[in-house]
């Protein structure tokens, strides 16, 4: 999301209060109040950070294993994005992990799916991060799916034109353009474009599985298929980071993958058949996947949706003594769901959600992180307030969020900022 919009929304409250004070003829009093509020907001950071659930390792342990590579896929949320949108975040993440030496050139793949070869599926940009001696390496995969929804959102371009925008107050016009950019994406995702967005996710996942840096095309339009070799990536660590609508895309993408492996004929298009099913199943079967969901929206975006084919059977698929243990898709999927209580579009994952709404074959466990990424301040003595937009987009800039993703919690390598600034309540089940 554009920083300009964030700044506009951050100041709306103060502009409104300043206007009221000015009208009443108390400008000097208003100035003093505003200064007091700003001073209070700069006091010692008392923002909440509460972690409830199982301990998790973060990215760090995978980087320390010389026998494997660590691969991180970023999936963005609503709003139009261009390749490179995650640069600030992965550089901050790389700094926490001490892998700051960046390959001079990135890989840019224009995605194409064999199930819809005529359709443009967006872009996958891969950046290689290493430590000074090259003993640690992180491959950061940045999926940009905006291209899929951009054409449909063009229907609202007329409302952004001068014919309509000049009639609005300046701030309202900026807010309306922001709404026109972000509001349609969840609606579009419920329609025909959803399958193409999930194909883009599948293509990104496929490219993650195909070896290392030297195995990736440097540029151009390419298709990844399941019949290619996965031998080079059998021991690699897969991590997903999503934001907003990206949380739904990520879990839907994984559930679609499970369905494809179980019923490949359902997902074939009559021309291309999904291949090497047994090889892909073997590749995934003993894998532990971590998903860090920033501004998690799974509960809201579950409304009105059909359930997966297999639910309510966690023990049967995921416990070693379960009768269907050999049929599980992955060994374990750890969802770490970040939610700012002042983020109007974010939710924790409640008890029972996984068993009822998520595919049992993914063997999901959940850790909820309740965290103030936006500062809460005293609004002139009338109550506390936090900027809801900053609470929605501020996760990637928060040092505690980055440290939790990088080094987890409840382990020997947990970051000091997490040890000092976050409370952890372990929930084993």
Q: What are phi and psi of 261, to 5 degrees?
A: -70, -30
* The dihedral sign for the CA sequence 151, 201, 394, 303: positive
Q: Quote the DSSP letter at residue 306.
A: P
Which of the residues in the chain have pLDDT under 50?
A: 2-31, 33-34, 36-38, 41
d(CA 302, CA 306): 8
Q: Which pLDDT belongs to residue 167?
A: 86
Q: Which pLDDT belongs to residue 172?
A: 86
The total of other beta-carbon atoms located within 10 Å of residue 217's CB is 14
Contacts of 263 (CB under 8 A, 6+ apart): none
Q: Which pLDDT belongs to residue 19?
A: 43
Q: Which pLDDT belongs to residue 26?
A: 45
Residue 395, SS3 per DSSP = helix
Label the pairing between strands 137-144 and 123-130: antiparallel
d(CA 273, CA 263): 11
**Model pLDDT for residues 129-185, shown as the tens digit of each residue:** 999 888 899 999 999 999 999 999 999 888 888 888 888 888 888 888 888 888 899
**Model pLDDT for residues 86-142, shown as the tens digit of each residue:** 999 999 999 999 998 887 789 999 999 988 888 999 999 999 999 988 889 999 999
């Amino acid at each position: 999301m554009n920083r300009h919009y964030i700044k506009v929304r951050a100041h709306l409250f103060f502009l409104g209060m300043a206007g009221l004070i000015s009208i009443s003829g108390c400008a000097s009093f208003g100035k003093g109040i505003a200064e007091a509020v700003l001073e209070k907001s700069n006091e010692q950071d008392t923002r909440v950070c509460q972690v409830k659930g199982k301990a998790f390792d973060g990215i760090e342990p995978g980087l320390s294993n010389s026998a494997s590579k660590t691969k991180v896929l970023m999936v963005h949320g609503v709003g139009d994005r261009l390749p490179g949108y995650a640069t600030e975040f992965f550089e901050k993440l790389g700094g926490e992990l001490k892998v700051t030496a960046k390959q001079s050139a990135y890989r840019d793949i224009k995605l194409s799916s064999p199930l819809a070869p005529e359709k443009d599926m967006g872009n996958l940009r891969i950046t290689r991060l290493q430590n000074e001696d090259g003993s640690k390496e992180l491959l950061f995969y940045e999926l940009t799916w905006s291209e899929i929804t951009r054409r449909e959102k063009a229907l609202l371009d007329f409302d952004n034109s001068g014919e309509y925008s000049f009639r609005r107050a300046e701030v309202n016009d900026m807010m309306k353009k922001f709404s026109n950019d972000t509001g349609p994406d969840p609606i579009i995702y419920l329609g025909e474009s959803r399958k193409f967005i999930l194909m883009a996710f599948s293509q990104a996942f496929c490219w993650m599985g195909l070896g290392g840096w030297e195995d990736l095309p440097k540029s151009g339009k390419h298709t990844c298929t399941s019949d290619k070799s996965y031998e080079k990536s059998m021991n690699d660590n897969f991590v997903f980071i999503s934001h907003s609508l990206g949380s739904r895309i990520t879990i839907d993408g994984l559930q679609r993958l499970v369905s494809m492996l179980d019923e490949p004929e359902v997902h074939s298009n009559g021309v291309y058949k999904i291949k090497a099913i047994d090889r892909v199943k073997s590749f995934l079967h003993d894998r532990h996947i971590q998903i860090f969901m920033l501004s998690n929206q799974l509960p809201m975006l579950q409304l009105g949706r059909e359930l997966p084919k297999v639910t309510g059977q966690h023990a049967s698929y995921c416990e070693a003594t379960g009768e269907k243990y050999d049929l599980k898709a992955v060994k374990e999927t750890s969802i770490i769901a970040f939610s700012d209580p002042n983020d109007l579009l974010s939710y924790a994952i409640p008890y029972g959600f996984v068993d009822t709404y998520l595919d049992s074959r993914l063997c999901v466990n959940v850790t909820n992180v309740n965290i103030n990424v936006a500062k809460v301040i005293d609004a002139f003595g009338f109550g506390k307030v936090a900027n809801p937009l900053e609470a929605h987009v501020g996760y990637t800039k928060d040092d505690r969020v980055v440290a939790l993703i990088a080094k987890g919690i409840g382990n020997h390598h947990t970051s000091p900022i997490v040890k000092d600034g976050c409370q952890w309540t372990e929930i084993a089940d």
